[in-house]
Every structure is written in C-alpha cells, then in structure tokens.
Amino acid sequence: MARLANLYGVTESLPAAIPKTPNIQRTPSKSCRIIKCQAKMFENFDQFEQQCSSLALKNTTRRSVLGIASIALLAQLDTNNNASLAVEENQLWLTGPLPGLPPAENKIFNEETGTRTFLKKGIYMANIGTKGSAHRLRKYAFDLMALGDLITQDTFNYVRRYLRLKGTFMYYDFDKVISASSVPDKQPLTDLANRLFDNFEKLQDAVKLKDLPQTQSCYNKTTVILQEVMDRMA
C-alpha cells in the first residue's frame, strides 16, 4: 500500500501514465469553480442556490439589454443608410403614408355605386403624363387580352388580383387621357371607358362566384372592348 504524503491523500509516487476513463466530467469553467468554492463557505444550501439564481438572472438580463440595444442600433443605421441612398439615387423614398389617388374628374364611375368595385386602394401611381397614360392603357389592354389561357378553375384568385391591379391603373389613366382630350373626343372616350369598366365589374363578379363558364363568357366580351382600347390608343 502506497505511503500517504499528506492529509489530502496525495500519493508519494504517481504512475507514469494515467489511463483515460470514459464518462469523465470535463473541467468546470472559471465561473463554476468560483461558485463551487464559495459554496463551501455557506452553511445553508438554500443560500447557495439563491446566489446562483441571482447571478444567472443578472447575466441573462445583461445579455438581453445588450442584444436589444445592438438590434436597435443596426436597424437605425440601416434605415438612415437606405433613406440617404434613396434620396441621392432616385428620390423615391417616402417617409409617410402613400399618397391617396384623387377622385376621377370624368364620369367613368358607376352611377349606382359612385365608384368601381374593382379599384384597388393603397397603391401609388407616378405622374407619367398624358402620353404615358395612353401608352400604358394600350399595354395593359394587351396584357389582359393574354389572360384568357390562364383562366381555369384553380386560378380564380390570381385572375381577380390581376384584374384589380390592371383595372385600377387603366381607370385613372383613362381619366387623365379624357381630361386632356379635345371636346369632340371626350364623350367617345368616356363611353369606351364605361363599357370597359362595366365589363370589368361583371367579370369580377363571375370570378368571385368561381363560375368558370360565366367567367369565360364575360372575359370573351371584355376582350372585344380591350381591342378597341388598343386601336384607340395606338
């Protein structure tokens, strides 16, 4: 039996190599060693447990505050950077809500309801001038004429959203074109716009009902008027 060197049980001679044993516990971190050493000084374990909980809460709170402050700082820097770049490059940065679309000056609204049911709210339309509006009317009419092959039983929601977006732009573009036209051309353009938008509303109602035959029938009638719009805006 090996002779003891001191009261703590350290042997006088150690083996040349200590074999590795499985499931051995890793060396605790510095904070754990400090807490364990301090635990020996407590006579009551409840006191030790209370200090551990207090220390963990303090560290967690500190990390949370630092994390929130870092996120807020990065968000502020990113916002300021984006705003400055937008002002310098294209000046399209909007610091407030989107400007509302003005009411139509011409009688292209539904006289029974005072508006058009397909109009989409909350969109921004840049002022591209009368010629730009006429060009867009022709382009959007062409886009809607290419929608026929996509009308199926599974695409009603897509058709409805697409019709609302294109129809809203065409509504205000028609108003701008009619306002800038000569007196003899105002009434024919107004009649053409009303026929188109009346069919838009019927088409939208058919799409809401998810009635495929009725939707296709309304769409076929609408394409005839869309062709008239393309010819008129050419």
Q: In this structure, what CATH number is given to the domain that contains residue 149?
A: 1.20.120.290
Can you read off the two tokens belonging to residue 179? 């306002």
**Looking at residue 104, what is its pLDDT?**
82
**Looking at residue 88, what is its pLDDT?**
43
User: Which string of DSSP letters, residue by residue, matches 106-136?
Assistant: SS-S-TTTSS-TTPPPS------HHHHHHHH
* Same structural domain, 139 and 223: yes
Is residue 4 situated within a structural domain?
no
For the chain, the domain total comes to 2
pLDDT in tens, the chain (234 residues): 444 444 444 444 444 444 554 554 555 555 555 445 454 454 554 555 555 555 555 555 555 555 555 555 555 555 555 544 444 444 445 455 555 677 788 899 888 888 899 998 888 888 899 999 999 999 999 999 999 888 999 999 999 999 999 999 999 999 999 999 999 999 999 999 999 999 999 999 999 999 999 999 999 999 999 999 999 998
Give the number of other CB atoms < 10 A from CB of residue 14. 9
d(CA 22, CA 130): 83
Nearest to 156 by CA among 198, 209, 101: 209
**Looking at residue 3, what is its pLDDT?**
47
Whole-model pTM: value is 0.58
**Looking at residue 122, what is its pLDDT?**
80
Is residue 162 situated within a structural domain?
yes
Distances (CA, A) of 53 to 48, 49, 56, 105: 9, 6, 5, 70
- 4: which DSSP letter? B
* Same structural domain, 140 and 211: yes
51 CB-near residues (< 8 Å, 6+ apart): 35, 38
Amino acid 139 reads K
CB hemisphere CA count around 178 (13 angstroms): 21
Can you read off the two tokens belonging to residue 102? 């003005």
d(CA 62, CA 131): 61
Q: How far apart are the first and last CA of the chain?
A: 110
Is residue 98 situated within a structural domain?
no
* Same structural domain, 55 and 133: no
SS3 content of the chain, % helix, strand, coil (to 5): 65, 0, 35
Q: Which domain holds residue 43?
A: 33-89
**Looking at residue 27, what is its pLDDT?**
54
Is residue 115 situated within a structural domain?
no
**Looking at residue 127, what is its pLDDT?**
85
